[in-house]
Structure 1
Amino acid sequence: MKRAYVVPHPPIILPEVGRGEEEKISKTIEAYKKVAEEIAQIKPDTIIISSPHAPYYRDAFYLADGKSAVGDLFNFGVLDVEEEVELDRDLALEIKKVGLGLPINFTKNDANNLDHGSLVPLRFIKEAYSDFKVVRLGLSMLSGRDHYKLGMAIESAAKNLGRNYVYIASGDLSHVLKEDGPYGYRKEGPEFDEKIIDILERASFDELINFSEYEAECAKQCGLHSFQIMAGTFDGLDVSAKKYSYEGPFGVGYAVIAFRSEGENKDRHFLNNKELDPYIELARRSIESYVRDGKIIEPTEDLPLAMLKERAGSFVSIEEDGDLRGCIGTIGPVRENIAEEIIGNAISAATEDPRFPPISAEELGKLEISVDILEKAEPIASLDELDPKIYGVIVSKDFRRGLLLPNLEGVDTAEEQVDIARRKAGIGPREDFKMERFKVVRHEYK
């Protein structure tokens, strides 16, 4: 039976730092001790811990590559607190190998330095149990789905090696709970904590991975992505959850919540294999990287060979709340390969469709994306050779060309299809024009 825990990491919880102030979060301390006792009973081989204070990359996940790590609290004015752990490099390597197409930076950079977001939980655990190794993970600015997917990769890697592990999702909740807190008070702070604790207690991981990044940012929290990775380790499983404590006397929310698996459940595959479609996920990642950071990503070597070696036109369509939010593509290939075609068209659909304003960062979690790969077009002589459910159409005269994809809602006849394409091309109703038809391979989540 697999276990995982959401825990906070306030240095003030340690008596060496708190010097009596830790008594104000006594419920959190007692909950931590209970977690440590449970882990001692489980006797895991490995503790996998994700921390917002490990090295943080915008477009990749940090995975420590090393033999051991040592942490201290020098930055908090305390000289006599130190913790050392042995790293499970074999499991870390297997996580990188499984990967599920995610950008994982398996690096020695800062691998030997145990951040306080990891040190605090491990210090409590080692008071009850110490015969374990550690895998250290950092968070990123990638989507909630990608963080969840990393959890899926972790679970697969652990199964491959037969590892008995416990997952520790280190993260504090809102930092804007009180006027005298670190960032003052904002109503979004307690609202965030209430929502997240409710979601976690119900183990509603579908809601967790789609939680608004905007709301999370307003709450000045640091735990959401850590919790999403943890949730991914339970993909396809029933989960029971129990809140051990919640406190916020210093203006920061501290929650301790325990999770355990309760058997398989095919309805709890919350990605529904969505993340396994590399065409859609390449488009999604391209949009997120460009909208958030202005950065154009590069195709990775783990993409399907067809995406890296073949050339074709493509269209990327974006919907939000069921309404079109952008759609731009290329009739024929104009870039090196299909992957680069998708990257370019995804960015254009998100930022350059003249019918809509550019997509904002706040919208990223709400988007539904589909990708059409166009097969080679062939000329046709009449409408009888068209079926709008099967074929797309290209209408052209001179330099003017209009395209309409197949199987679009509300387009039921060849006449309607051609008329729309003609108007898109700026061709008058009495002008002659040529027609071509084509098929597409559509990648979409239903």
Structure 2
Amino acid sequence: MSYLETMKGWIMLMLFVGLIGAGLWNESKLPQARLPELSDTDKRFLLSLARRQLESVITTGRGITVDRGSIPENVQVPAACFVTLNENGMLRGCILDSFTPHEPMYKNVMRNVVLAATSDPRFPPVRPAELPKIEIEISVLDRPKPLSFSGPDDLLRKLHPGVDGVILKTRTGSSTYLPQVWETFPDPVDFLSSLCEKQGADPNCWRSDPPPTVEIYHVIHFSESDLGDER
């Protein structure tokens, strides 16, 4: 079985057990998680690892082998890592396989960079010719936490634009935006309305009765351009 076939099998398993998508987990089984300490050296290691993995899988169909002795200690802890690919400043693919940390951070980055390139249903798989134009972004997540609110106005007051990643669960489905998306929707009303539309619901679904379930999380976010793009 090829590496890409293995990755496709993994994403189908995640869809089956309900780990992909916002908020689909058993909270009692989640580890207590918070944002890790990551130095610039750690971040560069993860970005370089993601780049090498991406280029190897797209050009040869095989993943890379990592020398365990070269892996910084900070990136060996379990973590959930959202990987985003941008091409010429436009989204080219993004995936988080699970909000639940289930493997070391560096392995999750390696997994999700491949899934972002090959399994985002909105885009065709990345082609070798596109690789020089693609920038990799990594967001390391902490554990999502329920947000209590008394109504729509209270929800608006309790959100922190630019800081909170938001998971919105309604009768229609669930959707999530990373904190970086506040740059596109700085107004909380627009942010929540877009989250509703993302899951195929009415833009005002966040005002519904009964109210939706909302969870927030935070990230450490970094990209190749942030750290000088040492390719």
- Answer whether TM exceeds 0.5 for this pair: yes
What residue in structure 1 maps to residue 157 of structure 2? Answer: 384
CA distance in 2 between partners of 1:416 and 1:363 (Å):
32
The unaligned stretches of length 5 or more in structure 2 are: 1-39, 150-154, 227-231
Deviations 1:21-80 (A, max 9, x none): xxxxxxxxxxxxxxxxxxxxxxxxxxxxxxxxxxxxxxxxxxxxxxxxxxxxxxxxxxxx
The unaligned stretches of length 5 or more in structure 1 are: 1-272
What residue in structure 2 maps to residue 439 of structure 1? Answer: 218
CA distance in 2 between partners of 1:353 and 1:299 (Å):
25
SS of corresponding position for 2:180: coil
CA distance in 1 between partners of 2:132 and 2:42 (Å):
14
Amino acid across the alignment from 2:219: V
Amino acid across the alignment from 1:402: S
Whichever structure has more strand as a proportion of its residues is: 1
Number of residue equivalences: 173
Amino acid across the alignment from 1:423: E
Tell me: higher relative CO, structure 1 or 2? Use CA pairs within 8 A at least 6 residues apart: 2
Deviation at 1:295, TM superposition (A): 1.0
SS of corresponding position for 1:407: helix
1:239-388 aligned within 5 A: 277-301=44-68, 302-308=70-76, 310-333=77-100, 335-380=102-147, 381=149, 382-388=155-161
CA distance in 2 between partners of 1:327 and 1:292 (Å):
19
CA distance in 2 between partners of 1:330 and 1:440 (Å):
16
Deviation at 1:281, TM superposition (A): 1.5
CA distance in 2 between partners of 1:355 and 1:438 (Å):
24
Bigger Rg, structure 1 or 2: 1
1:93-112 aligned within 5 A: none
- Contact 2:140/2:220 (<8 A) preserved: yes
CA distance in 1 between partners of 2:43 and 2:160 (Å):
30
- TM-score of the two chains, using structure 2 as the length reference: 0.67
C-alpha change, 1:303 and 1:340, in structure 2 (3 Å) is same
Deviation at 1:405, TM superposition (A): 0.5
RMSD: 2.4
- Contact 1:288/1:364 (<8 A) preserved: yes
- Contact 1:311/1:333 (<8 A) preserved: no
Amino acid across the alignment from 1:376: R
CA distance in 2 between partners of 1:369 and 1:274 (Å):
16
- Contact 1:291/1:359 (<8 A) preserved: yes
1:416 aligned to which of 182, 190, 193: 190
- Contact 2:42/2:75 (<8 A) preserved: no
- Contact 1:297/1:343 (<8 A) preserved: no
- TM-score of the two chains, using structure 1 as the length reference: 0.36
Q: Give aligned-pair identity as a percent.
A: 29
- Contact 1:387/1:413 (<8 A) preserved: no
